[in-house]
Amino acid sequence: MKLEVNKIVTLGNNEEYLVIDMVEKDNEEYYYIAQVNEDGTDIKDNYKIVCATYKNGDIFLDEVLGEDKLKAILPLFVKE
C-alpha cells in the first residue's frame, strides 16, 4: 500500500480523502488531502494537511497542527 497523488485513501474512521499533493521536508512526507463526498464524484470542503508516519507496515496520517508548523509547510503546496 503506497500513498500516491490522485489516489483515494480510506482511513480507519471510514472517511475517504483525495490525495491532492505531496511534498517532502526534513525527511517527512506531507500530504494535502481533501475529503471525498458521499457520491464519490467530488470533494467536500474539508481539507487537511497531514504528515505520514509509518509503523509496522501501517500508514498513519497526522494532521499538521500549529500556526508555525503550517506556515512552514503550507507554502510548499502553493502553486504558481
Partner 1 sequence: MSVIDENKLKLLKMKERLLEISFDNRNSVLADYKLIAMEIDNILYKSITDIIKSNVSYTDKPLEEQLELFLKIEKEYADYDKFQQDIKNVCKKYNDDVNLSDIDSILIEEIRKKIQSIKKYLSNKKNLEENRKKLDELNTELINEDKKMTSFKKRIDDMDAELKLAVLKTEGRIYNSSSQIEYADISLEADNLGLNLRNLLDDDSLLEEELNKALAELKDAEDELKTAQICYDNRPNINYKDIYLSIREDAVKKKYRFLFLKIISVICKHTDSYDEAYEKRIQLISLIKDRSDLLKQLNVKYLYDPFDRIGLKEQTEVIVAYGNNSSKVKDIRKQIEEVSSSSDLMETENIDLNDYLSKNIDLIRDNTLFKDIIDKEKIDLRGITYEDDTLKRKYASNQVVSVDALPFHFMTNRAKEKANGVVNRVYEMMFNIDNEKTSSVNSSSLVNPQLVIEPTSDNELTKPFDSTKETVSDNFETEDEVFLDLPFTIDVVSPEEKNDSIQEQHDEVTTNTVGDDISVSVEDKQSEPPLFQEVQPFENISLFDDKYDDGLIFDNKLVLKDDNVKKENETKLNNPVIQNLHLENKENGFSEDVMPDAFWTVKEEEPDLNEDNKLSFDEQIAALVESEDNSKVKKLVA
Q: Which residues contact 30 (CB under 8 A, 6 or more apart)?
A: 22, 23, 24, 49, 50, 51, 52, 64, 73, 76, 77
Q: Is 66 left (phi over 0), alpha (psi -120 to 50) or beta?
A: left
Q: Does 28 bind partner 1 (CB under 8 A)?
A: no
Nearer to partner 1, 13 or 27 (CB): 13
Q: Does 56 bind partner 1 (CB under 8 A)?
A: no
Choosing from 24, 27, 41, 66, the residue that interacts with partner 1 (CB under 8 A) is 41
Q: Does 79 bind partner 1 (CB under 8 A)?
A: yes
Distance CA 24, CA 39 (A): 31
Interface ranges with partner 1 (CB under 8 A): 1-4, 6-13, 18, 20-21, 32, 34, 36, 40-43, 45, 47, 50, 58-63, 67, 70-72, 74-75, 77-79
